[in-house]
Amino acid sequence: MKLNEFTTLGRTGLRVSPLCLGAMSFGTGWGWGADEKVSKALFDLYLGRGGNFIDSADGYQMGASEEMVGKFVAERSLRDAVVIATKFTFGAQPGNPNAGGNGRKNIYRALEGSLRRLKTDYIDLYYLHSWDLMTPAQEVLSTLTDLIHEGKIRYFGLSDVPAWYVARMQTLAEKEGKERIATLQLEYSLAERNIEREHIPAAQELGIGLCPWSPLAGGLLSGKYKREGNTGRGEGRLTMPNAIFNKFTEHNWRVLEVLLDVAKQIGRSPAQVALNWLVTRPGVTSTILGATKVAQLEDNLASLDFSIPAELSKRLEEAGAPEPIHPYNFYAPWMQGRISGGTTVQPWRPAQMYAGAIAPPPPPAPEKKASAS
C-alpha cells in the first residue's frame, strides 16, 4: 500500500489517502504542538509523499490550526488537489450557549469562521465534532443537507457520537431523500477498540467510511512511555496536567507489551506496527496521523511499507480484544451455532466485527456420574 493509492470515502466518489494528516498539532495555543515552521515541514512532507487528506477543526490550537492549513494550501495553490476536513460543535464564546453545540444557528456561525480561517469558499468534509446530547438528528441532517446544496460543503461526517445516533440519521437521510453521512471519525487503536461493538458494524451496513483518530493512543503505542516507575509526569501529551485521557491502565500496558514484542520480531517501530494493524482493519478508510516532529511523521508514513505476519497479527488481535460483555456474547460463533442448529451458514455479506465474536468457548458439559453397580 502507498500513500497515493487512494480509496473512496465511504460510499462516495471522493478519493482520499489511506493516511490522513491530522492538523490538531498545527500551532501551540494549547501549550503543546508545532510552531508554524515545523507545521509547514510536516505539511510539505505529507503532500510530497502523495497524500491529499488534511484534518482540522475550528477550535484546534485556538483557531491556529485552520489558519495554518489555509495559508499552506493557498501558498502552493493546492485547493483543488487537497481534501480538507474540519469540524464544528465546541463553544467559541464564553457565556454564549448558541456559539457552540449542533443547532442550526451555531453550525452556520462555525462554518463562516472556518471558511475565513481556511481561506476557501467550501469545505470538502464537514464534521459534527461531538454529540451535544440535545439537538435532534433531523435538525443536524437538514442543516448539513442545506449546506451541501448551497455549495458551502461537499460531504459531511459525524465524530464522537453514539452508534444509535448514526443509525437514526442515516436512516432518516435514506427515507427523506437527504444527503447521507459520508464517514465517522472515532477513537480507534490497539488500545481502544470499543467501536468494534456497534459503530463499525453500523458503518459497514450503512455504507459509511471510518477515519480513526488517536491510532497510537495518544502516543502510548509509540513505546515512549514506560510502565515501570511511571508517575504520569514527564514529556508527552499523556503526562501533561491538562491530559484528557488516562491511557496508563493495566489493559493498555498488556497491549503495549505484546506490541513491543511483535515490533521487535519484525524489525519495525511500535508506532509503525500499531498503524499498520489499524490501516488494514475492515471498514477503515483513512487513519488520522498526529505528529509534532518531522521524524515522527517520517516513521508513521513508513507504516504502509510492510505486512504483519498472520501469526503475529493474531497476537495483536487477541491482546486488545474488547471484553465479550452482554449482549455481544450472544453473537459469538458458538452461540450462533445454537441458533442455526449447529450448521454452518454463510451470510450474504462478510461477517461483521462484533466484539462478542472473540468470546470464550462455552464451558464443558458436566461429567456424567458413573451409575451405581
In angstroms, the Cα distances linking 61 to 5, 44, 290 are 31, 20, 13
Number of CB atoms found within 10 A of residue 244's CB: 8
Three-state SS at 150:
coil
Distance (Å) of CA 255 to CA 118, 215, 248, 249, 251: 39, 13, 11, 10, 6
Catalytic status, residue 60? yes
- Intra-chain end-to-end CA distance of the chain, in Å: 69
Q: For cell 440519521, name the residue.
A: 169
Residue 186, amino acid:
L
Rg of the chain taking only CA atoms, in angstroms: 22
SS3 category, 254: helix
Measured from the Cβ of residue 312, the count of other Cβ atoms closer than 10 Å reads 17
Which of 46, 60, 126, 354 is flagged as catalytic? 60
Other CB atoms within 10 Å distance of the CB of residue 82: 20
CA distance 179 to 2: 31
Q: Name every residue whose Cβ is closer than 8 Å to that of residue 239 and which is 6 or more positions away in sequence.
A: 225, 232, 233
Cβ distance 176 to 203 under 8 Å?
Answer: no
Residue positions annotated with a catalytic role: 60
